[in-house]
Chain A
């Protein structure tokens, strides 16, 4: 067991030594892998953020009906009664204008502006969930309510959220495709690096085969190298993505100052980042494994003479 551990530790140190022996080449390789991985990673971060904010908006399509500003209580009650009767309406929520003002104050951070208003600019509103949420029936409902007295404006709320959602689904497919392609690229880069290493260390491999090294022993440092290179590439990708988020947030900071909103892009979650490293290391390992398996078989002591 200790011997086994010692062998692995030695394999690992040998790997670091190998990385350090060609620092520029290693750094460039790692950079290439990092940049390749940062493309799908960045896209993933963006989509993750968009999705989070679109989820804050109701996923269920709603229709909002706004009363005229000067509508009286009786008129509002009349609309309420109509909504109760309407077969198209599943349920609805009445938002009195005072409450709406409070909500805005709390949700959007516009408190200063709201407080400075001479009067409440918001109308009473009904937020209606339709029984049938197909676009046609929603539009029919909107058109119906629009006819009712003292209703100033009717709006389909969730339409854009649904469109965003569809776009996000597309985006996720894009991330998957890009991710798969660049994972392949990572495997290919590792394959090639390891191929060159195996070829330059041909003599060494031949000698240690002659004195009784198992294939596992010979393969080990190359596999470590592949995994380590992949992992380092993952770290670079993580740094690039985080740097991107940082820069965006700094600029968004000014923007959101202007709007007094608190919109910030979130960094890649630690769990996701660690998975990224694990995946990158595994891919590197895999590329190295493919390469070593292929090229080691060609190096037999008997072949060179």
Chain B
């Protein structure tokens, strides 16, 4: 499903974020990418969704060479993913419902179909009663769950999360860990970049550890 070989990423100015990283993630796996801040976790995720391109090496997602995609093809690559951000990246000028409906609007879903899926996703994260609320009125944990609902509403094959529990206290963190586990149990490939040790202990996933931009063995 995801395969990296000899991937390096150097930023202009010479900073080396990743060096000769290679691994494979199979469909249906639950994988943590761990490591201290600055180890290159976020860069790795960015390479997967073509926000960044590798300086060398190849990144293969679903059989596509991500580094070689044309700009026109990038949106379609990204539709394979559900993205969960540390800072949620919600749209604050529209309701909870509309935030979750966004990925479906982009792919051109019919309104009735979309409504069913949006409600299912909101139900899954326990926000069904907040449909009409604005994201600002939600707590941090609720906002994170909203972000997760948006990430899964279009039933992506891969769920990517960057420090999903980074800003949350432990209880919320546990809740969100359970959510990820339940998605993984229905066959979604889940990749989480985090240094949250409690989450790690709870889910007992496969771990890809990074240190100074290299695989730590």
Contact = CB atoms under 8 A, between A and B. Distances in A.
A212 B111 contact: no
25 contacts: A4-B108, A7-B105, A7-B108, A10-B105, A203-B91, A204-B91, A204-B93, A207-B89, A207-B91, A208-B102, A208-B106, A210-B49, A210-B51, A210-B83, A211-B78, A212-B75, A212-B77, A212-B107, A213-B75, A214-B72, A214-B76, A214-B106, A215-B71, A215-B75, A300-B51
B116 to A, nearest CB: 15
B110 interface: yes
A6 to B, nearest CB: 6
A3 B79 contact: no
Given A203-B91, A302-B46, A302-B51, A211 B108 contact: no
Contacts, number: 61
Nearest to B80: A212
Contacts of B107: 212
B150 interface: yes
Given A6-B108, A7-B108, A211 B46 contact: no
Given A210-B89, A211-B83, 15 more contacts: A7-B108, A203-B89, A204-B91, A207-B102, A208-B106, A210-B83, A211-B78, A211-B79, A211-B102, A211-B106, A211-B150, A212-B107, A214-B75, A215-B75, A217-B75
- Size category of the A interface is 20 to 34
A21 to B, nearest CB: 9
A73 interface: no
Interface residues of B, number: 27
A301 interface: yes
Contacts of B78: 210-212
A217 B107 CA distance: 9
A302 B52 contact: yes
Nearest to A5: B108
A2 interface: yes
Contacts of B81: 212
Contacts of A215: 71-72, 75
B23 interface: no
Nearest to B77: A212
B52 A213 contact: no
Interface in A191-242: 203-204, 206-215, 217
A209 B90 CA distance: 13
A182 to B, nearest CB: 34
Contacts of B79: 211-212
